[in-house]
Amino acid sequence: MNTEAPLKLCLLEDDPIMGESLCDRFELEGFRCDWYKTAHAAQPYIGNTDYAALISDIQLPDMSGAELYTQLQQEGRTIPPTLFITGFGSISDAVELLKRGAADYITKPFDLDTLVEKVRSVCRRPLREERTDEPTLGISAAMRSLEQTLCRVSEHGSTVLITGESGVGKEHAARFLHHCAARTGKSPFIAVNCGAIPEGLMEAELFGYEKGAFSGAIRTRRGVFEQADGGTLFLDEIGDMPPNMQVRLLRVIQERQVVRVGGETPLPLDLQLVCATHRDLKQMVGEGTFREDLYYRINVVHIKIPPLRERREDILWFTRLFLNEIDPENERHLLPSAEQRLLQQPWPGNLRELRHSIERACVLSAEPAISAATFDAETDHNPPTLDDPDLRERISLYERQIILESLRRHGFQMSETASELGISRKNLWEKMKKFGIEKG
């Protein structure tokens, strides 16, 4: 016999038929349910009664769910995990509320079983439990809150757009979202850099091809969409996608199915799509270089990762993390002067640049304790030597140095580096390969 007291729910719903049927169903499921028809009626009890969850329509007669949520937050009430019931037109409001701390939402019309499942899951996992998790993306308040948002978003499978400067950790955030999703298990995480695929190969790479679809297609190959089915597809540098591919991508996202090049059968897809870019897509839409319809399709939930210089609390935390990863055996640490040096830098290449700096410091410093001078030395490391008698060797050294400096200046961002150097992205890739320069 279950001797536990039933969990208590607070239901806010002005529609009498909907309210009554929800209340009945919750009670049948073993909850106790207090039902209020207006926000004003419920307000005195929220935060003063031990509710396991608040289920609220996002449109109430006396105020919107968002206004109620804001008021409760401003009053400093302990708000129970909140699930909003939303119409199709208010999804963006619900997503905004998720970012501000709401636990979940459900769109009308919905299946009652699904609602009950969601209510059970928010009751089981109150938000305060999530807050005790070990940080993964950083210790700053901005990144802790971003982690929580990603966890909530992962439960919906909504398409996510992650923006932020080059090297801020957009791919890492996408991987974090993938691991948050309950559905992952052993499901795949497929990352693709749209900017690095030659335009002529992009269609085949993304959507796959049938044997004989074109000369060279000696066997059928699955594209990245199919490979990511059941998991997460991370499309990095989405702003670099050529216009004709934008149209095809839009169709695949809308229809949730893919047809291989040279094939006829649509293959259904069930995946979480995460797109990322360091570019300003809205501006690109204005300039006509990025399709507006695609922009809205991929921008269901927008996660903006701040640059490292705006969350300096993360610098030393990541430094320790990288030191441990790069040289776990030597108990590496920074002297206070070196810490100060890192804290003061602007880090235009963000975490990628910080990681490179730490890697170089580990190579250059013989002692476990790394001094500020080690970071001064790194810029002069291995300069080309004009004394080398071989002309080609000297030119190569210069070329490598120029490319490396430009890459660092642009946080290893391929398009910008290539454009500064006046060469194509493909040429830049080839040169990096030739000179053994890794992207990070």
Ligand X SMILES: Nc1ncnc2c1ncn2[C@@H]1O[C@H](COP(=O)(O)OP(=O)(O)OP(=O)(O)O)[C@@H](O)[C@H]1O
- The answer to whether residue 160 forms part of the interface with ligand X (CB under 6 A) is no
33 scored as a contact of ligand X (CB under 6 A): no
List the one residue out of 15, 85, 5, 74 whose CA is nearest residue 46: 74
Q: How far is the CB of 136 from ligand X (least distance, A)?
A: 6
Q: Which is nearer to ligand X, 152 or 356 (CB)?
A: 356
- Asked if 118 touches ligand X (CB under 6 A), the answer is no
Asked if 19 interacts with ligand X (CB under 6 A), we say no
Q: Are 64 and 17 in contact (CB under 8 A)?
A: no
Cβ 204 to ligand X shortest distance, Å:
23
Is the CB of 134 or the CB of 287 nearer to ligand X?
Answer: 134
167 interacts with ligand X by CB under 6 A: yes
* Residue nearest to ligand X according to CB distances in the complex: 169
User: Looking at 53-61, 77-85, 162-170, 385-393, which segment touches ligand X (CB under 6 A)?
Assistant: 162-170
Q: Does 93 bind ligand X (CB under 6 A)?
A: no
Q: What angle do CA 27, 30, 31 make, to 5 degrees?
A: 65
DSSP string, 66-94: HHHHHHHHHTT--PPPEEEEE-GGGHHHH
Comparing CA positions, the residue from 133, 156, 160 lying closest to residue 145 is: 133
Beta bridge pairs of residue 57: 85
Count interface residues toward ligand X (CB under 6 A).
Answer: 20
Toward ligand X, which CB reaches closer, 156 or 278?
Answer: 278
- Of the pair 36, 412, the CB lying nearest ligand X is at 412
Binding flag, residue 168, ligand X (CB under 6 A): yes
Residue 169 found at the interface with ligand X (CB under 6 A): yes
Taking the least distance from each CB to ligand X, the nearer of 85 and 273 is 273
Site string for ligand X, 342-381 (x = CB under 6 A): ---------xx--x--------------------------
Nearer to ligand X, 65 or 167 (CB): 167
User: Residue 65 and residue 86: Cα distance in Å, rounded?
Assistant: 9
Nearer to ligand X, 54 or 342 (CB): 342
Q: Tell me the C-alpha to C-alpha distance, in Å, between residue 121 and each of 81, 130, 186, 366.
A: 10, 13, 22, 52
Instruction: Report in angstroms the alpha-carbon separations of 301 from 18, 103, 273, 282.
Output: 29, 15, 11, 14
Nearest to 127 by CA among 195, 62, 184, 69: 69
How far apart (Å, rounded) are the C-alpha atoms in residues 167 and 125? 32
Among 57, 50, 69, which residue's Cα sits nearest to residue 8? 50
Q: Is 172 in the site for ligand X (CB under 6 A)?
A: yes
C-alpha dist (Å) from residue 189 to 174, 225, 307: 9, 11, 25
Residue ranges in 211-270 that form contacts with ligand X under rule CB under 6 A: 236
Nearer to ligand X, 222 or 360 (CB): 360
* Helix, strand or coil, per DSSP, at residue 365: coil
- Binding-site ranges for ligand X (CB under 6 A): 136-137, 164, 166-172, 236, 276, 278, 321, 351-352, 355, 412-413, 440
